[in-house]
């Protein structure tokens, strides 16, 4: 048993008391193996996690924030959580978000010089074509505002290709992988300190202003439609993104469509060889001004002796629209819903209240979780704490695809290391072994960490997340691994249970300093 630092300099008569205190602390954080056994049995023998995934993906489909599909998914989740016996299951508004967007039809065809169907989909927040249109494509690469003058007066009535032909990449390594023991060992090491780099907010704002002006230029020029190369790591994939903006004040571009690179590149080659080309396109899309308000899904399992204290778990419910948002992030939502189903099915007594959250607006910058944290806990700009701030023990997040859990990021909180090591131990034979001091970015636990609350994301096997499925047309049910989600649900349920029954709340890092918002972003001029 390790000796607590405070025990090393005490007199002999006090040493026994210190050692007893250390033993009690270690025992308090030991996993309850009887409960873990029951959790595993429920998670593996009676799993419903793929059924949750099925409804979110195959039935409801993609869930762009502010769309009717997002609302349908949120309402479905509320009803399912009520059916499992959670209390207070509700939609909690946090908006306004901006105008919603959805599309209901897409078709694209190469008509000349020979027929071929074209694979693609419209970019979010771009409009309909107004029926079936045919036209001549023209290559007009627009990288900066200096390119506008070169193409001025030449794009009216044309289908404009605005990207260079992306090079096809030959995959020489497997697209799917699991983390090896050596990779986990490396990840467990602390990263060497590096000088703080200046933020890239200014660069992002510059990019937003350019996209806004580019869209207005294309509209002013009378472009019939716009094609982009939806390139990422694979010439047969499309990376979903937005063409317009959810801000009603921003200009609406012409209809914008992303094609798989192999089809986009064929058109470019034909144009470069001056072969006549004719395309046919059809997009039915709609803006939803009635969904300016957005909402998160919230539900609870009430605690007993310490019901005012809270343990949270969550994942983001919104997605992009190229596939059905399966690995990003219906998988995380399915695991979170399954974790609370397991806890309710086993009727496990827990002192603290367990609160589930499914977030909106993550893809637009963690908007739903940021708004929730600001409303319930603290504003990171002022660090004025609300009463609930003192009552949150921890927030656990899942948002890195279908991969099984391999460990957890401490987010710089060394004090929880021995606790999490003890809680992971019963899952060692299922591959969950690594506790790392490192931070990980890009998802909703950061909203909690930003105000000094213990917020954690699990380490997951990448599988095909970074190579094929993330934000792509391949982000579908068939690319989710059922066994991985079952393992993740068991670990999530176990962590939540132990956090909710631990005698003390989880230790915290010191409060961060207030981070006043920089000068208001320079909005592009209104047109």
pLDDT tens digit string along 6-27? 454 555 555 555 445 445 555 6
Domain boundary among 246, 267, 287: 287
Tell me which residue range forms the domain holding 123.
102-287
Domain boundary among 238, 259, 287: 287
Within a domain: 250: yes
Q: What is the pLDDT of residue 230?
A: 80
Which of 255, 228, 251, 225 has the alpha carbon at shortest distance from 127? Answer: 255
DSSP state of 390: G
Q: What is the pLDDT of residue 234?
A: 62
Q: Is 60 exceeded by the pLDDT of residue 526? A: no
Residue 202 pLDDT grade (very low, low, confident, very high; cuts 50, 70, 90): confident
Q: What angle do CA 49, 490, 190 make, to 5 degrees?
A: 120
- Report the distance separating Cα 408 and Cα 458, nearest Å: 4
Domain CATH code at residue 268: 3.50.30.30
Q: In what order do the strands lie in the sheet with 455-460?
A: 87-93, 295-301, 352-359, 306-316, 392-397, 455-460, 405-409, 434-436
Domain CATH code at residue 392: 3.40.630.10
Model confidence over 433-447: pLDDT tens digits? Answer: 999 999 999 999 999
Q: Is 80 exceeded by the pLDDT of residue 520? A: no
Share of the chain above pLDDT 70, in %: 91
Q: Is 80 exceeded by the pLDDT of residue 28? A: no
Residues 282 and 341 in one domain: no
Residues 237 and 382 in one domain: no
Residues 359 and 494 in one domain: yes
Q: In what order do the strands lie in the sheet with 225-229?
A: 120-122, 256-259, 225-229, 159-161, 137-139
Q: What is the pLDDT of residue 1?
A: 47
Q: What is the pLDDT of residue 197?
A: 67
Q: Looking at residues 112-137, what average pLDDT do you find?
A: 97
Q: Looking at residues 254-269, what average pLDDT do you find?
A: 95
Q: What is the pLDDT of residue 237?
A: 79
Q: What is the pLDDT of residue 21?
A: 47
Q: What is the pLDDT of residue 291?
A: 62
Structural contact between residues 460 and 399, judged by C-beta atoms closer than 8 angstroms = no
Question: Phi/psi at 52 (nearest 5 deg)?
Answer: -60, -45
Residues 110 and 91 in one domain: no
CA gyration radius for the chain? Answer: 25
Residues 225 and 309 in one domain: no
Residues 250 and 368 in one domain: no
Q: How many domains does the chain have?
A: 2
Residues 114 and 86 in one domain: no
Residue 417 pLDDT grade (very low, low, confident, very high; cuts 50, 70, 90): very high
Residues 299 and 406 in one domain: yes
Model confidence over 71-123: pLDDT tens digits? Answer: 999 999 999 999 999 999 999 999 889 999 999 999 999 999 999 999 999 99
Model confidence over 298-326: pLDDT tens digits? Answer: 999 999 999 999 999 999 999 999 999 99
Mean pLDDT of the chain: 92
Residues 418 and 330 in one domain: yes
Q: What is the pLDDT of residue 254?
A: 97
Residues 239 and 322 in one domain: no
Residue 5 pLDDT grade (very low, low, confident, very high; cuts 50, 70, 90): very low
């Amino acid at each position: 048993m390790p000796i607590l630092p405070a025990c090393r300099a005490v007199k002999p008569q006090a040493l026994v008391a210190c050692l007893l205190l250390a033993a009690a602390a270690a025992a308090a954080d030991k996993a309850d193996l009887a409960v873990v056994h029951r959790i595993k049995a429920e998670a593996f023998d009676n799993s419903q996690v793929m059924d949750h995934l099925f409804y979110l993906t195959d039935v409801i489909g993609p869930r762009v924030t502010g769309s009717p599909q997002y609302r349908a998914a949120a309402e479905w989740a509320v009803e399912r959580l009520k059916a499992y016996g959670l209390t207070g299951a509700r939609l909690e508004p946090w908006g306004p978000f901006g105008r919603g967007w959805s599309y209901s039809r897409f078709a694209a065809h190469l008509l000349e010089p020979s027929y071929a169907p074209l694979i693609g989909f419209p970019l979010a927040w771009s409009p309909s074509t107004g029926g079936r249109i045919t036209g001549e494509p023209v290559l007009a690469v627009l990288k900066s505002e200096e390119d506008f003058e070169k193409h001025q007066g030449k794009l009216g009535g044309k289908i404009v290709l605005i990207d260079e032909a992306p090079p096809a990449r030959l995959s020489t390594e497997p697209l799917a992988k699991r983390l090896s023991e050596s990779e986990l060992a490396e990840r467990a090491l602390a990263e060497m300190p590096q000088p703080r780099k200046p933020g890239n907010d200014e660069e992002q704002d510059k990019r937003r202003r350019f996209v806004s002006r580019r869209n207005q230029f294309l509209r002013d020029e009378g472009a019939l439609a716009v094609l982009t190369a939806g390139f990422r790591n694979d010439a047969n994939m499309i990376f979903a993104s937005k063409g317009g903006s959810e801000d009603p004040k921003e200009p609406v571009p012409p209809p914008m469509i992303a094609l798989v690179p192999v089809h986009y590149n064929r058109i470019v080659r034909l144009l470069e060889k001056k072969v006549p080309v004719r395309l046919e396109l059809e997009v039915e899309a709609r803006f939803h001004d009635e969904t300016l308000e957005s909402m998160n899904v919230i539900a609870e399992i009430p605690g007993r002796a310490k019901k005012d204290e809270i343990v949270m778990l969550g994942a983001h419910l919104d997605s992009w629209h190229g596939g059905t948002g399966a690995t990003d992030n219906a998988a995380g939502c399915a695991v979170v819903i399954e974790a609370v189903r397991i806890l309710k099915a086993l009727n496990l007594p827990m002192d603290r209240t367990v609160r589930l959250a499914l977030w909106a607006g993550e893809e637009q910058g963690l908007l739903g979780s940021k708004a929730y944290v600001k409303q319930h806990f603290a504003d990171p700009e002022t660090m004025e704490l609300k009463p609930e701030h003192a009552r949150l023990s921890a927030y656990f997040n899942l948002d890195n695809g279908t991969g099984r859990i391999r460990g957890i990021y401490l987010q710089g909180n060394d004090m929880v290391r021995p606790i999490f090591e003890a809680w992971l131990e019963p899952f060692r034979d299922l591959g969950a072994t690594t506790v790392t001091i490192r931070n990980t970015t890009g998802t909703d636990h950061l909203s909690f960490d930003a105000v000094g609350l213990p917020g954690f994301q699990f380490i997951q096997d990448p599988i095909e997340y970074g190579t094929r499925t993330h934000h792509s047309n391949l982000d579908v049910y068939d690319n989710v691994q059922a066994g991985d989600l079952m393992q993740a649900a068991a670990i999530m349920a176990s962590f939540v249970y132990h956090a909710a029954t631990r005698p003390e709340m989880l230790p915290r890092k010191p409060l961060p300093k207030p981070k006043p918002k920089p000068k208001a972003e320079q909005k592009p001029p209104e047109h």
